[in-house]
Amino acid sequence: MALLEVNNLCISFGGLRAVDDFNITIEKGELYGLIGPNGAGKTTVFNLLTGVYKPNEGIIRLDGKDITRKSTTEINHEGIARTFQNIRLFKDMSVIDNVKVGLSERFKYSMIEGILHIGNYKKVEKEMDEEAMKLLSVFDLDKERDTLAANLPYGKQRKLEIARAMATNPKLLLLDEPAAGMNPNETGELMDTIALVRKEFGMTILLIEHDMKLVSGICEKLTVLNFGRVLCQGETKTVLSDPEVIKAYLGE
């Protein structure tokens, strides 16, 4: 059974068909790319997959379960986590506290325990700290545990956003243009980070990206969107050599 199955997904805004008859199948453990020109509907697809938008038509199944009409919170609980093109961290919180936000659904104590620091509070906080530090170590952020997120270099902020998403223990990780705004060295580090996440966690990853070096270097399969419709799907090398893809996406 595929981890993600999307069939005939459609959504319109004011009569404009933003995504039209979108289909995709992603197997467990795959690293899959979603590419296309600006305005092609890529982020709209992510918003549909995560419950930000509800489709007019179509079905989304995660691990065989229909999640089409679920809320964003419910979809996260089912196992989809995401990052954003514009980094969304709690910038006035420390690195470790950002990760602990992601852990908060898995480690719980009551409101009274939290306010008065009684009961399970100390035990749960200790467990959360230990789990957060394990994640930060994987992302080479453990030495910055007490640094404010806003004070991290740009590339490390990207890493922290991915670490926080991973703290929710997802089955599927969605990365929305993770290389946006990065220099070549940071992009190279990001490729290593994504490969590490896949290896360490056995993670299935779907990413939107414009950096063709990154896409061709790490993605096994691609779907190309253009004007909200699938232009081409398949193995990365085959897709990137398709004349229609070159014309529509690469502008040649």
Rounded Cα gap, residues 66 and 75, in angstroms: 10
What confidence score (pLDDT) does residue 213 get? 82
93-125 burial, b for 16+ CB within 10 Å, e for fewer?
ebbbbbbbebbeeebebeeebeeeeeeebeebb
Q: Which is higher by pLDDT, 32 or 112? A: 32
CATH code of the domain in which 232 resides: 3.40.50.300
> Is 157 a residue whose pLDDT tops 50?
yes
Question: Residue 59 falls within a domain, yes or no?
Answer: yes
What DSSP designation does 119 have? T
Question: Residue 122 falls within a domain, yes or no?
Answer: no
Question: Residue 188 falls within a domain, yes or no?
Answer: yes
Rounded Cα gap, residues 114 and 213, in angstroms: 47
> Is 57 a residue whose pLDDT tops 70?
yes
- DSSP H or E run through 95: helix 95-103
Question: Residue 134 falls within a domain, yes or no?
Answer: no
Mean pLDDT of 221-249: 87
Question: Residue 198 falls within a domain, yes or no?
Answer: yes
Mean pLDDT of 44-63: 97
Total domain count, the chain = 1
Q: Which domain holds residue 202?
A: 4-79+170-248
Q: How confident is the model at residue 240 (pLDDT cuts 50, 70, 90)?
A: confident
> Is 115 a residue whose pLDDT tops 90?
no
- The answer to whether 141 touches 163, Cβ cutoff 8 Å, is yes
Q: How confident is the model at residue 252 (pLDDT cuts 50, 70, 90)?
A: very low
What confidence score (pLDDT) does residue 165 get? 96
Q: Which is higher by pLDDT, 85 or 50? A: 50
Mean pLDDT, the chain, as a whole number?
Answer: 90
**CA 17, 7, 239: angle at the middle one, nearest 5?**
80
Question: Residue 217 falls within a domain, yes or no?
Answer: yes
Question: Residue 36 falls within a domain, yes or no?
Answer: yes
Rounded Cα gap, residues 117 and 7, in angstroms: 48
Please give the span between the terminal C-alpha atoms of the chain, in angstroms, as a whole number. Answer: 38
- In this structure, the strands spanning 204-208 and 221-226 are unpaired
- Concatenated DSSP letters of 127-160: HHHHHHHHHHHHTT-GGGTTSBGGGS-HHHHHHH
CA distances from 132 to 46, 149, 251 (A): 26, 15, 44
What confidence score (pLDDT) does residue 127 get? 86
Question: Residue 108 falls within a domain, yes or no?
Answer: no
pTM of this structure:
0.91
